[in-house]
Amino acid sequence: MFYREAGIFKTSYAADQALFRIPIDKLFVIGLIAFAFIVIPMIGNEYWLGSILIPTLILSIAALGLNILTGYCGQLSLGTGAFMAAGAFMAYKFATNLEGMPIILVILLGGLSAAAIGVAFGLPSLRIKGFYLAVTTLAAQFFLLWLFQKVPWFVNYSMSGVPTAPPREAFGFLVTGAEASPTARYIFVLGFTVVLGLLASNLVRGRIGRMWMAIRDMDIAAELIGIKPLQTKLSAFAVSSFYCGVAGALWSFCYINTVEASAFDINRSFTVLFMVIIGGLGSILGAFLGAFFIFLLPIFLNSAPGWFGLSIASETIAHVEFMTFGALIVFFLIVEPAGLARLWGITKEKLRLWPFPY
């Protein structure tokens, strides 16, 4: 944020290793979380909560997952949508076949199933790197979606093939399904986002995070230090797929309210990948920035002309929206290829020296 570290001295390694090394940073994040939990539900309307914040938060979870795999461990993946679908369908199976199971557990189990599937599709990563690995994860994308569409067992032999998400309660509030209030669903999703976000930042600054980054930056040196490449890569696949699985389950249960494979097609994978690239590879903050940028910018572009009293035909707006969106992405990548999070870091560094940058 816009303040300096001057005058903050640490007397123990514990203080120096803390998640937020500057006290005001911590206050800011706590304040932001409190704002998101308390103020936003009060001021937000149904459209904002239900159609904008919920999907953005869910996609941030998926972006966190992909960032762990691609940004931290360096394994390019195009299978995000498939792992989200795995989470959604497995959560649906758990929710419908085990009636009394708490919904939080259902969603976590969906995530764990996705993690297991992710590990299986991560196995080729020992031998295959870079773009070639991306192509093998593409296989996961197509195979898993085909599986979920073709095998009726996954949707409990539902006639339509697109079952609705079962309504479930958490802490006495209805949080999933179409009848749940947007506020309840929003708080539920926000809870997952905050907890998973904190866990991810803990992981990446600890031993396992360093092992992932070591594999990403110099796999040979990492191996000679004693890091086992396969286990490390698979652990990244597992954690990443877990995040994607949870995101997929939430997407089906709290946002679109149906369990369908078409919600997790290749476009979803690309969207999440763009979020990670635009936000910043290898940055937890970047996952959130990217998700908000990619999801909110089109909405902003769509409604901006109206604010200035311009009446433009809706088709024109749609075209302009695409063009501006594309141009902005190119602009941001030219200004800072390492993403919004890096841009933020540079801004902070410059401000620290301002107005005497010598």
Residues at the interface with other proteins (CB under 8 A):
13-14, 16-17, 19, 199, 202-203, 205-208, 210-211, 213-214, 216-218, 220-228, 235, 282
Report the nearest approach of other proteins to the CB of residue 65 (Å): 14
DSSP codes, 301-351: HHHHHHHTT----HHHHHHHHHHHHHHHHHHHHHH-TT-HHHHHHHHHHHH
Burial of 217 (0-12, 13-18, 19+ CB in 10 A): exposed
CB of 353 to other proteins, least distance (A): 16
Q: How far apart are CB 294 and other proteins at their closest, in Å?
A: 23
Output 141 or 193, the one with its CB closest to other proteins: 193
Residue type, 206: G
Contact by Cβ (8 Å): 164, 257: yes
Closest distance of CB 232 from other proteins, Å: 9
Is the C-alpha dihedral spanning 42, 43, 45, 51 positive or negative?
negative
Nearer to other proteins, 61 or 165 (CB): 61
Q: Which letter does DSSP use for residue 181 in this model?
A: -
Give me the least distance between CB of 113 and other proteins, in Å please: 18
Complex with other proteins: residue 85 or 236, whichever CB lies closer: 236
Q: How far is the CB of 198 from other proteins (least distance, A)?
A: 9
Minimum CB distance to other proteins smaller for 13 or for 157:
13
CB of 165 to other proteins, least distance (A): 28
Closest CA to 112 of 244, 268, 269, 252: 244
Contacts by residues 116-120 (CB-CB < 8 Å, ≥ 24 positions apart): 116/238, 117/83, 117/86, 117/144, 117/241, 118/79, 118/83, 118/86, 118/237, 118/238, 118/240, 118/241, 118/242, 118/244, 118/245, 119/234, 119/237, 119/238, 119/241
Measured from the Cβ of residue 64, the count of other Cβ atoms closer than 10 Å reads 32
* Least distance in angstroms from the C-beta of 293 to other proteins: 22
Long-range contacts of 319-325 (CB under 8 A, 24+ apart): 325/297, 325/298, 325/301
Closer by beta carbon to other proteins, 185 or else 342: 342
Q: Which is nearer to other proteins, 202 or 262 (CB)?
A: 202
Q: CB-wise, 13 or 354, nearer to other proteins?
A: 13
Q: Which is nearer to other proteins, 256 or 351 (CB)?
A: 351
- Cα dihedral 206→194→34→36 (10° resolution): 140
Q: Whole-angstrom Cα distance, residue 62 to residue 288?
A: 10
